[in-house]
Structure 1
């Protein structure tokens, strides 16, 4: 069935990255909805004496989507760097892959700090903050990232489809010394 849609078995590395980005964006949207539900439940509990606990299973969709998304992204990125880089740059491209991961974690921490100072969505007490808005912001940024990725993929030509200029072979005949 999969062969019918993409022409060959399995996904290409760029398709894996795209699927991963989409799953991660959907995971952030699921996190925003789960946090909105949790926050509404916390306000109900604060206003009444009746305890209405929510289940930890409410977190499964977001963790499943983000986890699967990361697996697709990491596998696709690593395969992309190894297959599309020149022969002498394969180890350097693997190091670049790991560098992008660490840079992403650093920027994530920076984003949390900026959002905390500017908006106050990330508070010291979970019920006083607006993590639903923060996760919504992350979902919007993730969808923008996905669409920018699709735009870049449209312009990209893989190593196997690039047309290098033909190299003229020199025919060594009797005329040459």
Structure 2
């Protein structure tokens, strides 16, 4: 369909860029259109990421945050994001990449799409871990009679939250780098500046989707048995985490379909014998 834009219409006496595109223009538009499914299926990762800076911090405020006499600020738990990334990147470079080169016969190790896929898998595991931790936290609150006290400190160490922070942090290391590499590599040369914008838009949309989900959950669960009340000890935050795990799994399945279908720009253009830099002639 897009190829028609590069076909000269005999009924038009004088062609210009508004009624006749070059083959380069057509191929560049095709490249962007092919990237959109990958772009769309990475948004949910950042929706999961958003929970680590919101509800996970809220969980931390209700738990035992003491190390000796020092009390850890709840928001400071996000430092485990940074720690996880700092650990994941060298582990990938020193261990995972060399193994991937040998097994996959790929000089770069994991491809950008494979990296993103790993990040999406880790986000699912993180939500499962978060749900299980929340169930344990609620049981502890119930057994100690603290369910009705929103300001009570549950005798359960805040370090139970570390796995979900580490998993999302590791997932960010894979997804962030994979996305950035993918968009920089696959965007047409004339649109390289847009590649970073495409990547960052998934992050912002992820937080937006998170807000929409929270609003929908509030309306659906109502006031009798709310999942996300002001007093988390009376809610079902774990159900919200399970919901995110299910949505992330469904998103992963869709992503794998599109990733398998996707052909990298260099390979596709080489197979079709097209060189964008020289393709100025029209059909």
TM exceeds 0.5?
Answer: yes
Q: Using the alignment, how far apart are the partners of 2:190 and 2:239 within structure 1?
A: 45
Q: Using the alignment, how far apart are the partners of 1:96 and 1:4 within structure 2?
A: 32
Q: Using the alignment, how far apart are the partners of 1:166 and 1:76 within structure 2?
A: 26
Give per-residue Cα distances to partners, 1:2-58, cap 9 Å, x unaligned. Answer: 3232213522111110000000111011000100111111111118xxx97111111
Q: Map 1:1-177 onto structure 2 (within 5 A).
A: 1-8=99-106, 9-46=108-145, 53-119=155-221, 120-162=226-268, 163-165=271-273
Give per-residue Cα distances to partners, 1:77-96, cap 9 Å, x unaligned. Answer: 11100001110111112111
Give per-residue Cα distances to partners, 1:56-113, cap 9 Å, x unaligned. Answer: 1111111100111122111101110000111011111211111121111111111111
* Count of residues in Structure 1 that have an aligned counterpart in Structure 2: 164
Closer/same/farther in 2, CA of residues 156 and 135 from structure 1, 3 Å limit: same
Q: Using the alignment, how far apart are the partners of 2:187 and 2:112 within structure 1?
A: 13
CA contact (8 A) 2:101 2:110 kept: no
SS of the residue 2:144 aligns to: helix
Corresponding residue of 2:93: none
Corresponding residue of 2:18: none
Q: Using the alignment, how far apart are the partners of 2:135 and 2:104 within structure 1?
A: 38
Return 5+ residue gaps in structure 1 as ranges. 168-177
Q: Using the alignment, how far apart are the partners of 2:274 and 2:244 within structure 1?
A: 47
RMSD: 1.8
Closer/same/farther in 2, CA of residues 52 and 102 from structure 1, 3 Å limit: closer
TM-score (ref. length: structure 1): 0.87
Q: Using the alignment, how far apart are the partners of 1:44 and 1:117 within structure 2?
A: 30
CA drift of 1:134 comes to 0.5
Corresponding residue of 1:170: none
Q: Using the alignment, how far apart are the partners of 2:213 and 2:154 within structure 1?
A: 33
Closer/same/farther in 2, CA of residues 166 and 60 from structure 1, 3 Å limit: closer
SS of the residue 1:61 aligns to: helix
